[in-house]
Homo-oligomer: A and B are copies of this chain.
Amino acid sequence: MFSAADSLTHESSLAVTGTVRQDSRAPSGFELDVSDLKVYQEVSKEEPFPITPKEHGIDFLMDQRHLWIRSTRQHAILKIRHEIIKAVRDFFDNDGFTLCDTPILTPAACEGTTTLFEVKYFDEQAFLTQSGQLYNEATAAALGKVYCFGPTFRAEKSKTRRHLTEFWMVEPEVAFATVEDTMDLAERMITFIVQRVLERRSSELKSLERDLTKLEKISTPFPRISYDDAVKILQNNGSEIQWGGDFGGGDETIISQQFEKPVMIHRYPSAIKAFYMEPDPIRPEVALCVDVLAPEGYGEIVGGGQRAASHDLLVERLKEHGLPREVFQWYLDLRKFGSVPHAGFGMGIERAVTWICGLEHVRETIPFPRMLYRLTP
């Protein structure tokens, strides 16, 4: 048995039998006095396990993703991802929401058609969903408080540390809710998630060398600033942004570095937001919307707001955005048959995991990331 163990190669599989013994010197607090050892499969000496303790390039590790996930660091990230997803679901389930899965295969784009993946659906053309929101509005009108939670897709040609082409998103939608209600909901949810991860996954956070004191500061209420004020902060910090412009990744980083908690920026110009946003009745040039930026420069993790309740306004907006009315007929029906104020948001799970784990790049937050030029393994 000793000689069998002696020649075993890295990542060979075995069953070890023995007596468990407490030992404070062991990393786990326990040692095993081995009485038997059975080898299931021995890794060949000619073709050893490709990942070694030396430094590897990221492209190599991504090519070996099916094996890379065996490392301690990847274990920690995947366990925290699991905990975040469970926390999100528990939060909504315990708050009276009904899970309503929305379709992945859709006939229409939610926010424009340039970043859609196209699917051949028998003799028809379909697109992969970018958001379940429009469908959420239908289920919220039926059930009051709903959420969907599934994969969403953006065919963006951007290769940044914040983008995946396939990512998971949770999207709650609430009938009779305003943009302020949505901000309350978002800060409650985010705080709940962070607390849960601190409670249950602090050893994983520590193994990632995450600064826990930063996460311990996350509590309600979060700072709320208007888009107008955000533009002033940016201008005071050297950004060349003018009122009316959208924030880039660099702008988000600047703003989120000003706060120790996630910051909620509300009332962006309607012109730079999606067609379905409800205009502010006091200042119709801005929308009743909100983005939540994670602290420490992590940028946007949540986007949402109040949806336009008026049928005629939506018809006008569809026209302005060049979207085909017939495809949205069912959506317009929601305003013909019992329209009420309603609001909701979407949170990208991988961005939340990136922030909570304190990672540099979103690519390690999902078992098998999909990016521009990355469809395998």
Contact = CB atoms under 8 A, between A and B. Distances in A.
A74 interface: yes
A118 interface: yes
Given A11-B338, A336-B44, A85 B99 contact: yes
Interface in A125-167: 126, 128, 135, 138-139, 141-143, 150-151, 153, 155, 157, 165-166
A206 interface: no
A375 B124 contact: yes
B142 A333 contact: no
A129 to B, nearest CB: 10
Point out which of A103, A309, A338, A339 has the most chain B C-beta atoms below 10 A from its C-beta: A338
Interface stretch (A64-72, A183-191, A215-223, A314-322): A64-72
A288 to B, nearest CB: 16
A258 interface: no
A151 B104 contact: yes
B124 A119 contact: no
A166 B104 contact: yes
A65 to B, nearest CB: 8
A233 interface: no
Given A43-B338, A86-B89, A375-B121, A367 B74 contact: no
A235 interface: no
Contacts of A128: 104, 119
Nearest to A99: B82
Interface string A27-44: 000000000000011011
Contacts of A373: 122
Interface centre among A40, A82, A101, A331 (most CB of B within 10 A): A101
A102 B69 CA distance: 13
Contacts of A121: 117, 165, 375
B49 A166 contact: no
A242 interface: no
A117 B117 contact: no
Contacts of A375: 105-107, 121, 124, 126
A41 B93 contact: no
Contacts of A13: 338-340
A246 to B, nearest CB: 24
A212 interface: no
B105 A340 contact: no
Nearest to A167: B101
A75 interface: yes
A99 B84 CA distance: 11
A166 B101 CA distance: 11
A213 to B, nearest CB: 27
A66 to B, nearest CB: 4
Closest 5 CB pairs of A and B: A330-B377, A13-B338, A66-B138, A41-B339, A69-B142
Interface of A: 11-13, 15, 40-41, 43-44, 47, 49, 66-67, 69-70, 74-75, 78-79, 81-82, 85-86, 89, 93, 98-107, 117-122, 124, 126, 128, 135, 138-139, 141-143, 150-151, 153, 155, 157, 165-166, 168, 176, 309, 330-331, 333-341, 366-368, 370, 372-373, 375-377
